[in-house]
Structure formats: C-alpha cells, structure tokens
Structure 1
Amino acid sequence: MYAVRATHLADQLLDTMPADMATKIQAYDWHQAKVVERGKDHVLLIADDLAVARLPRRQDPELERKMRLLAELDLPWRVPSPLSALGDGVLQSFIPGTAHPHRVGDAATLANIIEVFDNYDTSGLSLGEPFAQRGRLTQQQLAALDRVVDDGMAWAIAEHVHAWTDEGVGKGLVHGDLAGHNMHWVDGQLVGILDWDYAARWDTALNATYLNLWHGVELEAITDVPHRARVWSGALGLYALADALSWDVSPGGWRRLNAKVQPRILAAYQALAHAED
C-alpha cells in the first residue's frame, strides 16, 4: 500500500528535477524503502541517499501550505524540499544524518540554534497557528488534571502559556518539535531540520524547551529566558498527563510517567514567579 502510493508520486516529479535524479527515483523499487511509522500524522518511506516519501495517514488540507513554508525558509541547515507534485502525499529530498544521542549535547551549539530561531524574520512565512498540534488545555482537561496535579498548578501554568500566546510574548519562529529525530546530525554538526508541520509564529522559548528535554543541557546555558522555557516544559508535561488520563494506563506506566513529568510541572510552577522578569 505505502509503496504503491510512493510509486505513484514518483510518476509526478517536478519539472525542476535534474534528469539523472528523476531517472533514479522513477526506477527505484519503493518496496525496498525503509518504513518509519513513529509519526502520528504521516508515514515515511525512506530511500537512502535518494528521496523520502511522506504519506499522510489521513487527508491533510494543510499540506500545500506546509510545502510552501519549506520553500520559503532560508536557514543555515537543510530542510526537506518537495520533489513531486502534491497528491496522496509528497516526495521530498533526502537529508543525511541521524538523531543526536539523547541526554547529551554541546551548550554552545544548542544556544546558537536557539539564537538563529530567535532572530529569524518570520514576515511573509506560511506558518501555522500556535497550539495547532494539541489545542489549548481545556477546562475539562484541567479539571481532570486536578486529580493528579496538586495545588491548582495545572491551571496556573495553563493560564500563563495561554496568556503569553495571546499577548505575543517572545513571538518568533518556533519549529514545534525541535528535537530528536527531527534534527539530523553528522559528526556532531547539525545538517538538517525535518518535520515543520507545526511551525508557528509563537513564543521562541519553546525551541529551548524542546532542546532541553532531548539533550538534557541546562536551560540557563542555552537561552536568555530559562524560566519561561521551564514553564513551557511543565505545560508539555500537562499534555502528557492529560493524554494518559484518557488511556488505560497500567500502574507501572503511571509511576514512570509521573516520575518523568511531575518534577517538570513543579519546576514550572515555581518558575512562574520569575518567568516574566
């Protein structure tokens, strides 16, 4: 099924494609591609050193805008570029590299990445909307979170991140999930940034939040707004708990989840007093 969809896209390559690459892509047997299904929104078929087929799990009315954004971005790192017309998905350029090892990272390198995003001119970019991935924390979610988060902390954190968004605090280029497999590294150098689906003009403290969660480097070492980034980290923890409350989570799963996110939520609540300094 996936291979058939990718093959169909290979028959719709853009006229701007170099002839030799177009020939290789159209001759490629997509049944041999590596299938990556970890994304909740799309499946990837990876033909190493050649191309990547991005196949939405459901109809994506935003696909054209997302591809337009990729063409508009001008960053020090590669981003996927469309190779085919948009159909039941799209073929994109292959970007080499792998995810950075978890829980480690060079603070100066990460700080530079954050600075590039902080200073990027977002005018005219085809960006999405804040909270597009999960929506705002609703009153129903927050009421449910009162069962597992003490002292109304969830409400206070949600009130702040919602207000910052509405007031345009820190507004700039936000990737939406700047970490892990969305960043390709080669020999310690960042080569490319993938999956811009939830990029928005939003609080750029979020970029530091995601990098901190993946790399484990202290926020104070990579951003000028560590308290605000810490509050966002707690907010992401609230989403994780809200999701889990709707699942049949085992006692062991709850213990592991709480051990992971409850300290972040407490740190976020404590950071509120300094987050707007």
Structure 2
Amino acid sequence: MSSVGNRLVESTKDHAAACWPEHDWSAARYRHGAFHDVLVLPEVVARIGTDAERVAREHRTALLLSGIDLPFAVPKPLSEPRTHDGRTGMLVSRLVGQFHPDIPWPDAASEFAEALDALSSVTLPPGLPPPRVWCGGEQWPAVVMDHLVPLLPRDLRDTAAEVVAAVIVTEFRAPVRLVHGDFGPHNLLWSDGRISGLFDWDHLCAGDPAIDLAPLVGMYGAARVAEITDSVTLNRAMTHRATLSLQVAAAGELTGNVALREHALNNFVTRARAETLRDPGTG
C-alpha cells in the first residue's frame, strides 16, 4: 500500500477510535469503497464517509431494515451517525458467512431467485426513498443530460439520452417493490450453499424489482437470468442495466469524485461501442 493509502487507513482508524473508543480498532480490517471507508472487526463494522447526509440516509435505511423480516441477515445499526474531523460514520453489525463474489450461476441461481422473491414480497414500510437517490434521484436524468452527456463522444450522446429515457418510461409501467438496488454476489454472504447475509443497502428504495436483476444481467448475461424471471421483467432489467454506468458517473459528478465519474463514463463508452449496454452476453 502507498504512503497515501497508509495515511488514509490510519486516519480512518483514528476516526473510529475517537467515535467508538469502546472498540479496539488497531487490528481492524480496512476496505475502501467508492463512497466509504470501512473498518471490520469480529463483531462490528464501521462505515465512514465525507458526506454526512449520505451517512444519515444510510442510518435511516438501516433503521427501516431492522423492522423487516427477511430469510437472511442484514446489517443492524449499532450507533447513531457520529462526526469527527470532517468525516461521519456509523456502526453496524457484522454479518456471518463466506464471500463468493465469483460464484458460478448454477450454484447460485435458485438462491438468487428465492432472495429476490423475498424482497419483492415485503410489505413496503413508510419512508423508503425513491430509486437512485444515491446518484441524484429525480434529478438523475438532468445530471446525465446537463453534466455527463457533454463529456461523451458526440456519436454516443444520443445513445445516453435514449437509455435514460427508456428507464423513465419503463418505470411508469413497473410494479413498486422493496429493492436492494445493488443486488449481486459482491454484496452477498453464503453459508452451506445458502445466502446468509445481504449487505451494502446504500441504494435501498421502493422501485421496480427489475432493478435488482440488472447487476445479475451484467455479471451472468440475460440468457442465464431468464431462467429465474419472466420475459417482461427481464426486458426491464436489461433497460436498467444499460444505464448502470451512467448512474455511477452521476454519483461521481455529484460527489466531486472525478476519477469515479471518468471510470464510469469510460465503461459506458466501451459497452456502447461493443453494443453490450443491455446485455454483455456472458451467460
């Protein structure tokens, strides 16, 4: 790790020690995400970021989840958001299970289907945010059109506008369910071949359940995902998948993370040129 990286780890541990001195953070495992620094201890996890409102929103999300009965574990809030030295964090419970980010489709398909069905079956609690609050919410189309489209190659600007418009139209016809927002092996834990935990609920919303199929389309391809859903829902999932890189780019734009924005825009360009925005065909 670079000296800059080491300083970030140490400053994150210093933040945690100041906010939650009852825990020994010296041996905590550090992970860096797009919007958070994460410290992992055997019993608790600290999620720390520079955007106090984002952390407050995630705390509200964790409180909402605490009242929902699901067949797998979700992080429970263990502290109010606490601010120290320009950063804000919260404690959540650590989930138990093994991490298998590259789990093969045949080993996971039935579990994916069962977990997604469980999410869709939840009675929506009051207070759930609308889709894409993390990348602009209702202003997301405007962020794309006003700030991101001008950064794209001219021949792909209409494509970006079209895929964004397609999502808006699609959602008018879609049911509204409890949506994790970033469902996939990268946010799942497993035990004895079963999903034991689902984490990173930053994108939780009341929205189209096809949103939760979109990352699976991106990883496994539409042909595989067709095994666990109907053709209408799959088509909506592919429509959402086409915009995933523009959602990440919008989040980067709104948070001033230029590197994240450029990385996501480059992904959009690559997929658009390869005609894989809706389906990478990796199934």
TM (normalized to structure 2)?
A: 0.73
Q: Assess, with a 3 A threshold, how the Cα gap between structure 1 residues 58 and 143 changes in structure 2: closer, same or farther.
A: closer
Indicate the residue corresponding to 1:273 in structure 2. none
How far has the Cα of 1:260 moved from its partner?
8.3
Contact kept in structure 1, 2:183 and 2:216, CA below 8 Å: yes
Structure 2, unpaired ranges of 5+: 1-10, 84-88
Distance 1:241 1:87 in 2: 28
Indicate the residue corresponding to 2:102 in structure 1. 102
Indicate the residue corresponding to 1:3 in structure 2. 13
Distance 2:153 2:207 in 1: 27
How far has the Cα of 1:204 moved from its partner?
0.7
Give the AA of the match of 1:177: D
Q: Assess, with a 3 A threshold, how the Cα gap between structure 1 residues 51 and 255 changes in structure 2: closer, same or farther.
A: closer
Written as runs of structure 1 = structure 2, the 5 A alignment for 1:44-83 is: 44-48=38-42, 50-60=43-53, 61-83=56-78
Identify the match of residue 178 of structure 2 among 142, 148, 173. 173
Distance 2:182 2:238 in 1: 15
Residue 35 of structure 1 pairs with residue 30 of structure 2? yes
How far has the Cα of 1:186 moved from its partner?
2.6
* Higher helix residue share: 2
Distance 1:69 1:223 in 2: 27
Distance 2:267 2:202 in 1: 32
CA deviations 1:105-132 (Å, max 9, x no partner) are: 23222122222222221132x3222121
Indicate the residue corresponding to 1:16 in structure 2. none
Q: Assess, with a 3 A threshold, how the Cα gap between structure 1 residues 62 and 238 changes in structure 2: closer, same or farther.
A: closer
Distance 2:186 2:111 in 1: 17
- Identical columns (%): 25
Identify the match of residue 265 of structure 1 among 261, 273, 277. 277
CA deviations 1:207-262 (Å, max 9, x no partner) are: 11123323457221122211111111112144467879x76979xx9599615884
Aligned residues between the structures: 245
Q: Assess, with a 3 A threshold, how the Cα gap between structure 1 residues 144 and 42 changes in structure 2: closer, same or farther.
A: closer
- Secondary structure of the 1:3 match is helix
Indicate the residue corresponding to 1:204 in structure 2. 209
- Secondary structure of the 2:102 match is coil
Give the AA of the match of 2:119: F
Identify the match of residue 153 of structure 1 among 155, 159, 162. 159
Contact kept in structure 1, 2:95 and 2:197, CA below 8 Å: yes
- Secondary structure of the 2:48 match is strand
Larger of the two Rg values belongs to structure: 1
Indicate the residue corresponding to 1:17 in structure 2. none
TM (normalized to structure 1)?
A: 0.75
Indicate the residue corresponding to 2:3 in structure 1. none
Indicate the residue corresponding to 1:116 in structure 2. 118
How far has the Cα of 1:157 moved from its partner?
2.0
- Secondary structure of the 1:264 match is coil
Identify the match of residue 237 of structure 2 among 225, 229, 239. 229
Give the AA of the match of 1:209: A
134-143 or 169-178, larger mean C-alpha shift: 134-143
Q: Assess, with a 3 A threshold, how the Cα gap between structure 1 residues 264 and 103 changes in structure 2: closer, same or farther.
A: farther
Q: Assess, with a 3 A threshold, how the Cα gap between structure 1 residues 249 and 87 changes in structure 2: closer, same or farther.
A: closer
Distance 1:159 1:184 in 2: 34
